[in-house]
Structure 1
Amino acid sequence: MSFKDSIFAKQIAKLATGTALAQLINIISLPLLTRLYTPSQFGIFAVFLASVAVLSSISTLKYENAILDEEEVQDAKHCTALTALSGIFIVAPLLFYSFLAYYFDFSLISIDWLTALFLSIAIILTNVFTALYYWCNRLQHYGFMTRGRVFAAVAVAFFSLLVGYLEIDSVNGLIVGSLFGMAVNAVYLILKLKLSFSSIRQLPLEKLYTLSIKLKRFPLFLVPSTLLDRLAAQVHIFVFSSVFGNSIAGAMGVYNRVVGLPTSLIGNAVGDVYKRRISELLKARQSCRRVFIKTGLTLFTIAAPISCVLFFFAPELFTFVLGEQWKQAGEITSFLSINFLLAFVISPLAGILYLRENQRIDLLIQIVLVVSLAIGMAIAVYENSFKIALSAYAISFGVKYLVQLLVSFKLAK
């Protein structure tokens, strides 16, 4: 193993080890939460998280990718500020709507004033955290990144469980618990990076504007492609909730949380370090293929056994660990076990699509995904068939991952 490979492996291990503790907290708390909150309540929470995921896909204008991509440190700092501040164009309308909905006592598409306020807070926290997380990645402050996740996991688990045990508005317990965790993570990074309000006031607004124009390829191509990706990834939650009920949406939400554990534990850690490493290679005009293949094989070796276990035993495991009412979530997990394998292996490798001049390709892939998924979901709604909806989701994303793999492999040279 070369020196660079050794450093690469150590960085992944550091991220994965810290994240493991955070995910251990999630693993321990999930069986408790599933006994305190019903599938219907988890369904409402899943709709809230899906809304946050869709809005946050455009709130940063994707300038966080420029934090790694920029060669000059000062420009990277300004990209960090751009990422944090870009959410204002979403937060301002949400807060205005929240005020009107509260004052005139109305709600639009089931979003009342409190939900709009929670969404505003979530976008602010997400933008700040994303900016600081990518800045830490550039500086290789992996200790900050992992410890922030641990503190956030503790905060989410503690608050959600406390509200559940006290039987205080259960749904808001899940939502506010997630917001509390976001805040803890963002504040921790702010303190560790020693940021101050005076440094924020001294930001050169004219320079930020000039830089935003220079980097227009990120909002121009990555915002629509990421929005399409998030819509495709979350549209089933909205469809399941509105057509098949909150219990189905809750089962799907728990599936996302369970399969997200190994993805967050290892896949994201590998992806974060991998993206920084290939960014360095691209800047040096060197091939990324060796790193690409080695990373892919490592991810496949880890994910394949997990996928097999989920395929054969997920319903029994979910019933035993989470309770009898979550058997349907286990059946969904078994059905989507191959998708888990593809996502775990390919999503980190597809990080190359977000760097340099590759954003157009990613946009085309996402357009095809959304069109195919929309057709499948429309058929499912027309037939009132949950099985068709789940099949459309599995096939559409399976094809998307395979296309991403082929394109990313070609770009890696």
Structure 2
Amino acid sequence: MIARIFAKYQSIGLITSSLLVGAIITFIALPFLTRLYSVQDFGEYGIALAVVSVLSTIANLRLDQALLVAEEQDKKSLIFEGTMFSTAIVAVSAIILSFIFNAAVVVAICSGVLANTLIQTIYNYKFAAHAEYFCAGLNILRSLIVVLVQLGLPLLMSISLVNSYSVSSVLMLLFILIYIVKNQLYQVSWQAFKHYQDFIYSNTPHALLNSFSHNLPYYVVSHFVGVQAMGFYAIVERTLRVPINLMSQTIRQFFIRKFKHLENSQEALKSSVLLSLLSLPLFAVFFVLPESLYLWVFGKDWVGISTYFQILALGYWAIFCNPPSSAFLIAQRSSHVLFRLQIIELLIKFVLFFGLYLLVEDKIYMLLAVPVALIFYNFAILFSVWSSKK
């Protein structure tokens, strides 16, 4: 029985372990990073990452997700087509962004978007082929490059966090391009994507709305609270997003591949509820940790950061029920359901931000809109999958 369980979950266990290693690397680095870079640095970095996150979701028109369910003969063509779409969208974005941000931020955003989309494309291509060891190694390598560059460059020169992010993105981009060319993981074609247009027309708008909704608090904090508060939010969000990224970028891929030919939603429901319950104690910890512990970890300049942790942890636990249920809908080519729910979630967030702005004196509590909207959205997805069972 143990051997059967091990065989069943070996794939997800290996990937989860690699992301855990990456998370440990990131957590170990954070106390040093908060002392090497200023709060202002983290604020600027947070704004850049918010834009990177939004653009990364649409740069290749979600053809990376299509790789998880694509026919074998289409996969290399999708890699080529997705790369071309990414390059074109980034080029257009660079022109627009140059009117909003300085050159350093524009370079960071564009290099970050290209690196993210290409890495995720190759990750999904190898994951669909059950190359879990490669995917695990890629997860660890990605974390190592980011951390080593961000820790090492300030020892050699005066550099901002945004510029160090550009360097790490360019390095990852070079590594992945060399791997693609060396292994000929592309096929010049403009036909394959036509068979996966539902990912473009349904999954892309949903992903774009999801990313915009997730990053909306960055714009709210920077406008209504200030850039320094943005630094607080950025470091907290970066810390809590580690387990979230584990779920959304990796475990969801596992379930999409698993549910590709599964019509019964029962297993998706069970997995969603289980993950949600398991996540509760992990996030409850942030409500009992003393402020002194946060100051010991991040430094004396981060007074009040515990409030940010508690507000975000209130709703982030709900995301853990998302991967199996949303993966089931994606695998069944029903991304339009996610799109509709995302619109409602975004409207709820807007209404709550506006209402809290009028009602609360301390504007940081406007962020309470985030956990409320997250709880609604993720359990609405679960309810949609449960309804499809009937």
Deviations 1:304-332 (A, max 9, x none): 22122112216343222222323433211
The 2-side partners of 1:27 and 1:365 are apart by: 33
Deviations 1:45-104 (A, max 9, x none): 00000000111111111122221223x210233223332222133122234458xxxxxx
The 1-side partners of 2:39 and 2:95 are apart by: 32
Three-state SS of the structure 2 residue aligned to 1:108 is coil
Q: Which deviates further from its counterpart, 56-65 or 174-183?
A: 174-183
Residues 355, 39 of structure 1: CA spacing in aligned structure 2 closer, same or farther, 3 A cutoff?
A: same
How do residues 206-245 of structure 1 correspond to structure 2 at under 5 angstroms?
208=190, 210-245=191-226
Q: Which residue of structure 2 aligns with residue 271 of structure 1?
A: 252
Say if 2:229 is the partner of 1:252: no
- Paired AA for residue 207 in structure 2: T
Three-state SS of the structure 2 residue aligned to 1:86 is helix
Deviation at 1:36, TM superposition (A): 1.2
Say if 2:324 is the partner of 1:343: no
Equivalent pair of 2:275/2:321 in contact (CA under 8 Å): yes
Equivalent pair of 1:228/1:366 in contact (CA under 8 Å): yes
Q: Which residue of structure 2 aligns with residue 87 of structure 1?
A: 86
Q: Which residue of structure 2 aligns with residue 373 of structure 1?
A: 349
Three-state SS of the structure 1 residue aligned to 2:288 is helix
Q: Which residue of structure 1 aligns with residue 8 of structure 2?
A: 8
Which of 401, 408, 411 pairs up with 2:378? 401
Q: Which deviates further from its counterpart, 14-23 or 227-236?
A: 14-23
RMSD over aligned CA atoms reads 2.7
Q: Which residue of structure 1 aligns with residue 293 of structure 2?
A: 317
Q: Which residue of structure 2 aligns with residue 101 of structure 1?
A: none
Equivalent pair of 1:153/1:181 in contact (CA under 8 Å): no
Three-state SS of the structure 2 residue aligned to 1:215 is helix
Q: TM-score, normalised by structure 2?
A: 0.89
Equivalent pair of 2:318/2:375 in contact (CA under 8 Å): yes
Equivalent pair of 1:67/1:77 in contact (CA under 8 Å): no
Equivalent pair of 2:315/2:370 in contact (CA under 8 Å): no
Which of 166, 175, 181 pairs up with 2:165? 175
The 2-side partners of 1:181 and 1:331 are apart by: 36
- Paired AA for residue 272 in structure 2: G
Q: Which residue of structure 2 aligns with residue 116 of structure 1?
A: 106
Give aligned pairs, total.
389
Say if 2:366 is the partner of 1:389: yes
The 1-side partners of 2:130 and 2:179 are apart by: 13
Equivalent pair of 2:329/2:385 in contact (CA under 8 Å): yes
Q: Which residue of structure 1 aligns with residue 129 of structure 2?
A: 139
Deviation at 1:272, TM superposition (A): 2.7
Q: Which runs of 5+ in 1 are unaligned?
A: 99-106
Deviation at 1:37, TM superposition (A): 1.3
Equivalent pair of 2:272/2:323 in contact (CA under 8 Å): no
The 2-side partners of 1:346 and 1:316 are apart by: 33
Deviation at 1:34, TM superposition (A): 0.9
Residues 185, 18 of structure 1: CA spacing in aligned structure 2 closer, same or farther, 3 A cutoff?
A: farther
The 2-side partners of 1:261 and 1:74 are apart by: 34
Deviations 1:193-241 (A, max 9, x none): x424xx74x51x3xx3x33333222111122111111111001102211
Q: Which residue of structure 1 aligns with residue 46 of structure 2?
A: 46
Q: Which residue of structure 1 aligns with residue 243 of structure 2?
A: 262
Three-state SS of the structure 2 residue aligned to 1:340 is helix
Deviation at 1:408, TM superposition (A): 2.7
Deviation at 1:180, TM superposition (A): 4.5
- Paired AA for residue 111 in structure 2: I
- Paired AA for residue 91 in structure 2: A
The 1-side partners of 2:202 and 2:218 are apart by: 25
Say if 2:335 is the partner of 1:359: yes
Equivalent pair of 2:322/2:381 in contact (CA under 8 Å): yes
Q: Which deviates further from its counterpart, 146-155 or 295-304?
A: 295-304
Q: TM-score, normalised by structure 1?
A: 0.85
Q: Which runs of 5+ in 2 are unaligned?
A: none
The 1-side partners of 2:55 and 2:133 are apart by: 28
Which of 267, 279, 282 pairs up with 1:290? 267
Three-state SS of the structure 2 residue aligned to 1:339 is helix
Equivalent pair of 1:225/1:366 in contact (CA under 8 Å): yes
Residues 275, 412 of structure 1: CA spacing in aligned structure 2 closer, same or farther, 3 A cutoff?
A: farther
Aligned identity (percent) is: 19
Residues 189, 329 of structure 1: CA spacing in aligned structure 2 closer, same or farther, 3 A cutoff?
A: farther
- Paired AA for residue 283 in structure 2: S
